Amino acid sequence: MARSSKNDVRVRIHTRIRHRVRGSEERPRLAVFRSLKHIYAQVIDDRRGHTVAAASSGEKKGEAGNGGNLAGAKEVGKLIAERAKSQGITKVVFDRGGYLYHGRIKALADAARQAGLEF
C-alpha cells in the first residue's frame, strides 16, 4: 500500500476546493501557494485563464524577501492587494490552495483584507 505524502494530500484537497471556487472577471480568484522559503499569491481570472496580478516573497522589494515567516506573508498580502486594486479589482474569492487557513496563509489573507481587498 502506497503512502500519501503531505503534498499529495494537499493537492487532493486543493482539487476538491477548485470544484467550488471559480474566478471570474468581476470577482477573480486569489490563489496562494507556499513553500518552506517563500509564499506566492496570484489573482486569476479563470474564465479567460489569465493572471491579473501576482506577488511573491522572492521579489527584491521591501521586507517581502523572507516568505518563510508571518511578516513576509503579510508583506505579500499587502503587495497583492495593491496590485489588484491598481487593476481595478476590489472583490476576490480566496483559494487557500489546500493549506489550512492558519499561520502564513491566514496572515496573507488578513493583510490583503486590510489593504482593501474584499473576500
> pLDDT by residue (tens digit) across 58-113?
886 655 568 889 999 999 999 999 999 999 999 999 999 999 999 999 999 999 99
Could you give the residue ranges of the DSSP H alpha helices within the chain?
6-18, 70-86, 104-114
Please report which confidence band the pLDDT of residue 18 belongs to, taking 50, 70 and 90 as the band edges. Answer: very high
* pLDDT at site 61: 63
Complete domains list, the chain, with CATH: 6-114 (3.30.420.100)
pTM, rounded to two decimals: 0.91
* Residues 6 or more apart in contact with residue 98 via CB below 8 angstroms: 9, 10, 11, 12, 13, 14, 15, 17
Instruction: Give per-residue pLDDT as tens, 1-15.
Output: 678 899 999 999 999
Mean pLDDT over 8-32 rounds to 95
